[in-house]
Amino acid sequence: MSVKIRLQRHGSKGKPFFHIVVADARARRDGRFIEKLGTYNPITNPATIDLNVDSAVKWLNNGAQPTDTARAILSYKGALYKKHLQGGVAKGAFDEAEAEKRFAAWVEAKDAKVQGKVEGLSTAKADAKKAALEAEAKVNQARIDAAAKAEADAKAAEEAANAPAEEVATEEAATEEPTAEAEGTEETQA
């Protein structure tokens, strides 16, 4: 019987969620399986992977063949590296404690790298939000300035409309005064 480590698709349309399983190669994709090794959620950023590494290594040592995507996931979580280290222990290159120490160091480095990506994404999101707020404040200030300018222009136009009426009245009064003076001078001449 040929055994594969592969993904079973779950989740709704457009929102995939996968179970990482060990199954007979002849079984349907979402059908019977021998053992569930973990889950994989590609929707989150970075993708969420829960994997039982020890069980995966046991199945790899027993001859289970991972599919391409499952191999990438096993590599990402360190199952293939742990299998490689166990091969070194079997050959006598180093002991089990050294293998565990190397694997723990690798996992710690990998976790730091993933955490760095998460922090980078969160800072990028915060920067984008800050830039959006600054742009919105700039637009609001421009809108307030435009409204103030329009109000000032309307007030100036109103004053301009009132001012000519006052000027016309003062001009009429000014033109009437000389005529009265002219009449007064005419009376004095006669």
Q: What pLDDT does residue 157 have?
A: 86
List the pLDDT tens digit at each of the 190 positions of the chain: 689 999 999 999 999 999 999 999 999 988 999 999 999 999 998 899 999 999 999 999 999 999 999 999 999 999 999 999 999 999 988 899 999 999 999 999 999 999 998 899 889 989 999 999 999 999 999 999 999 998 888 888 888 888 765 665 666 666 665 555 555 555 555 5
Partner residues linked to 17 by β-bridges: 10
Nearest to 83 by CA among 50, 49, 56, 110: 56
Q: How far apart are CA 57 and CA 78, in angstroms?
A: 9
In order of 10, 15, 33, 81, 180, the CA distances from 30 in angstroms are 8, 16, 8, 28, 112
Question: Per the structure block, which two tokens stand in for 146?
Answer: 């435009």
Using CA atoms in the order 94, 95, 97, 98, what is the torsion angle rounded to 10 degrees?
0
Q: What pLDDT does residue 177 have?
A: 57
Find where tokens 């004095």 sit. Answer: 188
Q: What pLDDT does residue 155 have?
A: 87
